[in-house]
Amino acid sequence: MHQRETLKVNGAGHLEIGGCDCTRLAADYGTPLYVFDESYMRNMMRVYKNTIDKNYGGNGLVLYASKAFSCMAVYVIAKQEGIGCDVVSGGELYTALKAGFPADKIYLHGNNKTENELVEAVEAGVGGIIVDSFREADLLDKIARGHNVKQNVLLRINPGVEAHTHAFVQTARTDSKFGFSISDGAAQRITEHVLSLKNLNLQGFHCHIGSQIFESKSFVLAAEKVMDYIAEVKKSLNFTASVLNIGGGFGIHYTDEDPVLTDKDYAGYLDALIEAVKSKASQYGLDLPYLLIEPGRSIVGEAGITLYTVGSVKDIPGIKKYVAIDGGMFENPRYALYQSKYTVVKASDMNAVCTQKVTIAGKCCESGDLIAVDVPLPEVEAGDILAVLSTGAYNYSMASNYNRNFIPQCVLVKDGKADTIIKKQTYEDLVRNDLIPSRLGK
């Protein structure tokens, strides 16, 4: 097991997170259970913020990427740590504002924002909106005019850099639903168009080249290409970009196939990116742009684990052994979607020797409802507590009530204390919005 500061094996041989015994958490709160380490999240926010403060003169802002995990508590933590956030829906925007997050440190993303979402963002006074289509630019200009404001915007552009990630999470290719490609002239056309709109204030550009990236060269190359474009439009359109949002995508450790990154490694990724921006600015005689970055997974991914209770164990001799848990694709759909790999441990006996490879099966009525395949585990039986590691990002966010299962409770742990940050659902929650038309009777 890869152990960073958040995970330990205590004297009883149990997995511990944030000073809390996982078997006790399972007993107190039930399973499945999402558990998040507050100190880990705060530390990662500080790693990025301190790097910008130290090596870029504080001329920038870390934006927590809400899509990784959105709830009011995480926005309060981000606010306390002095960083901003990006949101990709009206729901995420509402949650951040409800938590008291400052609107001027919120940036709204999305390739097909609804008119209502744009109105809500303008009325809230968000710091910026990342424009992703000509239609959106015109619609937003109309909305801003109606509210008598000039809305700050960035344009999402594709620098033509492909990160070496799973095909489903590559987002900067020319063939992408996101952004405007530099290579085919689309970026130039949208830049010229937005500059002509009276109620939009174009501040600069945004790019995001993918997710789960471990090669700093990818970030460096993307930054260089966008800086080249900034120099190009200054010359061709007499427009000076004052803001550069380089996106996120820093990788985390899921299994032993992934590198183990330290705080120094993450700071190094950002340092390399900063040096690329500085070098290009010097080359072209440009002022350094205000720098925005959008880490999400690397802030909450390894901060979170999910606890399960083992149910049935089905051994098919010579073929496979299934270990069934009380969760499944309803609270972790990432294996079903991406064949994502995870590390699984026996939280109730961390000292037991792994003697087998098993498939972790969920309880949903789907053959493809699996959490992990061919993972090493000790012998397990009904009632044992398993932990799936590095589930803090995109697990709760993508959870559903499929098969009318409950989306699990979330607890935040620190210094041996646990607090609920998202309540356990009830059967009443599942039927709360159901209606029976009177013509159906009962």
Q: Note the pLDDT tens digit of each residue in 65-123.
A: 999 999 999 999 999 999 999 999 999 999 999 999 999 999 999 999 999 999 999 99
Where do we find the tokens 């109620």? 199
Least confident of 173-177, 317-321, 436-440: 173-177
* Residue from 167, 172, 249 nearest 213 by CA: 249
> Rg (Cα) of the chain, in Å, rounded?
23
**Are 268 and 370 in the same domain?**
no
Where do we find the tokens 């940050």? 421
Q: Region 141-159: what's the mean pLDDT?
A: 97
**Are 250 and 395 in the same domain?**
no
Catalytic-labelled residue, pool 20, 364, 365, 410: 365
pLDDT value of residue 161: 80
**Are 273 and 316 in the same domain?**
no
**Are 78 and 17 in the same domain?**
no
In a domain, 1, yes or no: no
In a domain, 438, yes or no: no
Task: For residues 329 and 399, give the distance between their C-alpha atoms in angstroms, rounded to a whole number.
Answer: 8
**Are 268 and 354 in the same domain?**
no
Q: Region 284-309: what's the mean pLDDT?
A: 97
pLDDT value of residue 210: 81
**Are 120 and 59 in the same domain?**
yes
Q: Which structural domain, as residue segments, surrounds residue 402?
A: 7-30+304-431
**Are 336 and 285 in the same domain?**
no
pLDDT value of residue 209: 85
Q: Is 365 a catalytic residue?
A: yes
Listed as own residue / partner, the contacts of 94-100 with beta carbons closer than 8 Å and 24 or more positions apart are 94/120, 95/66, 95/70, 95/71, 96/66, 96/70, 97/124, 98/72, 99/72, 99/73, 99/75, 100/75, 100/76
pLDDT over 80 at 1, yes or no = no
- State pTM to two decimals: 0.94
Average confidence score pLDDT of the chain: 94
Least confident of 120-129, 170-179, 365-374: 170-179
In a domain, 189, yes or no: yes
pLDDT over 80 at 166, yes or no = no
Task: For residues 421 and 412, give the distance between their C-alpha atoms in angstroms, rounded to a whole number.
Answer: 6
**Are 296 and 310 in the same domain?**
no
In a domain, 437, yes or no: no
In a domain, 325, yes or no: yes
**Are 338 and 214 in the same domain?**
no
Least confident of 9-13, 168-172, 336-340, 434-438: 168-172
Domain end marker among 300, 330, 347? 300
Task: For residues 28 and 22, give the distance between their C-alpha atoms in angstroms, rounded to a whole number.
Answer: 10
In a domain, 440, yes or no: no
* Other CB atoms within 10 Å distance of the CB of residue 4: 19
In a domain, 62, yes or no: yes
Domain end marker among 300, 335, 363? 300
Q: Region 168-173: what's the mean pLDDT?
A: 49
pLDDT over 60 at 169, yes or no = no
* Residue from 196, 73, 52 nearest 137 by CA: 196
**Are 250 and 327 in the same domain?**
no
The CATH number linked to 400 is: 2.40.37.10
442 or 208, which is more confident?
Answer: 208
- Reduced to 3 states (helix: H, G, I; strand: E, B; else coil), residue 390 is coil
> What's the number of domains the chain is made of?
2
Domain end marker among 300, 317, 350? 300
pLDDT, one tens digit per residue, over 185-239 is 899 999 999 999 999 999 999 998 888 888 888 889 899 999 999 999 999 999 9
**Are 22 and 55 in the same domain?**
no
pLDDT over 90 at 175, yes or no = no
**Are 219 and 360 in the same domain?**
no
Task: For residues 186 and 391, give the distance between their C-alpha atoms in angstroms, rounded to a whole number.
Answer: 37
In a domain, 396, yes or no: yes
